[in-house]
Structure 1
Amino acid sequence: MVFLVKLSILISRLCQFIGGISLIIIVLTTMLDVIARYVFKLTGGEFGFTVKGSVEIVSYFMLFALLGAFAAFVERSQIIVDVFTQKMSKAVKGYMMGTFMMGFFIIGIVFAWGLYESAFDAIEYGKVTQDLRISMMPIYAISAFLSVLLAIRSLIESINIFKTGEFFDAEETGA
Structure 2
Amino acid sequence: MMKWLIKAVDGLALVLYWISGFLLVVMMLSVVFDVVSRGLFAATDGNVDITFVGGIELVKYSLLFSMLCAFPYAVDKGQIVVDLFTQGWSDRTQRWTDGFYTLCFGIFGGLLCWRFALAGEEAEMSGELTQDLLMPMSPIYWVASFALAVLALRGVVSGLAQWVGPLKEANR
TM-score where L is the length of structure 2? 0.91
Equivalent in the alignment of 1:160: 161
What is the distance in 2 between the residues matched to 1:120 and 1:4? 29
Flag as ranges the 4+ runs of structure 1 deviating above 4 A: 165-168
Q: Does 1:19 align with 2:20?
A: yes
**How big is the shift at 1:8?**
2.9
How far apart, in 1, do the equivalents of 2:94 and 2:168 lie? 9
Q: Structure 1's 59 and 77: CA in aligned 2 closer, same or farther, altered over 3 A?
A: farther
| SS of corresponding position for 1:132 | coil
1:89 aligned residue: 90
Aligned partner of 2:140 in structure 1 is 139
Q: Residue 70 of structure 1 aligns to which amino acid in structure 2? A: F
Worse-superposed segment, 39-48 or 145-154: 39-48
C-alpha deviation, 1:4, in angstroms: 2.4
Distance 2:33 2:168 in 1: 42
- Return the letter of the residue paired with 1:142: V
Does residue 6 (structure 1) correspond to residue 29 (structure 2)? The answer is no
Who is 1:46 aligned against? 47
Other-structure match for 1:117: 118
Q: Distance in 2 between matches of 1:87 and 1:65?
A: 37
Distance 2:150 2:121 in 1: 19
| Equivalent residue, structure 2, for 1:72 | 73
2: distance between equivalents of 1:132 and 1:29? 14
Kept in 1, the 8 Å contact 2:34–2:55? The answer is: yes
Q: Secondary structure at the match of 1:52?
A: coil
Alignment-mate amino acid for residue 86 of structure 2: T
Letter in 2 for 1:75: D
Q: Report the counterpart of residue 150 of structure 2 in structure 1.
A: 149
CA RMSD of aligned residues (A): 1.6
Conserved 8 A contact 1:68-1:146: yes
Q: Tell me how far 1:59 sits from its aligned partner.
A: 0.7
Query: For residue 102 of structure 2, what is the aligned residue in structure 1?
Result: 101
Q: Indicate conservation of the 8 Å contact 2:3/2:167, yes or no.
A: no
Moved more, 2-11 or 46-55: 2-11
**How many pairs align?**
168
**1:171 matched residue in structure 2:** none
1:94 and 1:165 in contact (8 A); partners too:
no
Secondary structure, in 3 states, of the residue corresponding to 1:75? coil
* 1:59 matched residue in structure 2: 60
